[in-house]
Structure 1
Amino acid sequence: MLTIEEYIEKRKQEDKLNEFDLDKRLENIKSCIDYIFEYYNNYLDISEIDQKTILNNERLNKYRKQLSKYSDNIKDWLVDTYDKHGNCMNKIIGNILDENELFLAMSTDGEFRSISYEYYSGLIKKYPFLSGKITAWLEDTMEKYGVNIEAFVYSYLNKFFDNDDMWPRTHKKRVENSYRKYDNDYTKKTNLFGIDLLYPKISSKPYIKGKKQYIEILMMYFWLKEFEGDNGYWDKYLEMIFSKDKD
């Protein structure tokens, strides 16, 4: 970082200012005053920002080196979270898992999904930035309008589950040796849970308009968690949703 004298000298050379030219005395005085203002208002601030950027990058690189066992996507998320919020989530989550004496004995996808559901709800309460857009939407809707979207979706699915007349015809799978004639094929790509009929009825609500995809995701979550059982489909569904968003 330059001193003020060094900065003025540098600017004089850049502008080819000759302080001994008496004919330009007033112009030179003005230029020197401008140099002083530039130094304090621009140069010092920019230098400070550059210094902070360098130090922050060093801090982030040091943290990234501690994450060698994780995939690149996980590394990026952990570093981004650390940069924005200052939390080392790998250590925080690791400490939580260490407290579970059964964790190292777990081996199935179902066990890992179950523990993920359990810990996620607790983590987002302590670290709100972990909650995604859907959670923020649910909370905002409850706060502003007093409407519990989750309760609405669950109630709708409860009726949907017991009434196959509500099911899209192409989503009905005939089953044998069951108390029901059909199963709902929730792996279809369109009109899941009859949402194409439901959404127009509620889309005029300010907290619903434009949220059809969010509602579908909630429906799938509750359907797999409360009505049918996951069977590994939740992860596949999310992959399809995220790839659709990227397109």
Structure 2
Amino acid sequence: MLSLEEYIARRKKEDRINEFNTDDRNENMRVCVNYVFEYFNNYLNITDAEEKTVLKDEKVDKYRQKLKEYDQEVKAWLVGIYSEYGRQMNLSIGKLLKEDDFFFLYDSDKEFRSLSYDCYAKLIKKYPFIKDQTEMLFLFIKDYHQVMSQTGVTNNDKVFITEEINNWIDETWAKYRVNILEFVFNWLNYFSNNEDVWPPTHRRKSKYDFRKYDYDIKQKSNLFNLDSLYRKMPKKTFTKGRKQEFEILMMYYWLHSFEGDDDGYWQEYLEKTLPALKDK
């Protein structure tokens, strides 16, 4: 069952109401007041037969709670789809977004809009009920970017390597709402699970039975396929000239979150790389 705010947001979307159009102010006021009457007189008018949907309402409410970080309009859209079709579209769309290596570096409407068109083309055949919903898909993708950037796996990390690196991370978030750490972690998660993309020179026969190779972190170049990744990376103020910083963050997470640092290589690595940063 939708809340009043969610119901109004859905009806506004269905009727294409633009509350900022002052020429239609009186008509919009009348229509929106009617939404409130509809909600209390019709939508909430539960008959004996409708009471059989109590379990469904509980299920929808539980789903709604999972979306508490999302914008009200986006949440209403997701809850409406779940209520009517039983699909958790935030998960389905989120899975597609994870296929884009640079999603967490995006910060412009143009990038999110382009991504929404790509997602729409992939989703429409499986989910025909999103037909003509490109605008809501765009709004969801923008909101998802912010929600995941703030609640993702790196949200509670207290990474400190150098003051300069931390300032870069903090200033990028403050100015562009881009979480550098989330981008790095998600790339490494993909990299760790796809040994086939590792260069042959970076592979060592694994000491574990569950995988074929271990990654050789002591290689001198192209660590974590950063050469090709950096070339393809969006050219932004906060990425230009930061290849070494990206490598350092990747090494940090690889040793502290993915593989462990039994040999104490982290300090040895910093002694080799930090002097180069000071000379920049």
TM-score, normalising length: structure 1: 0.46
Considering fraction of residues, name the structure with more helix.
Answer: 1
Who wins on radius of gyration, i.e. which is larger?
1
TM-score of the superposed pair, with normalisation by structure 2: 0.40
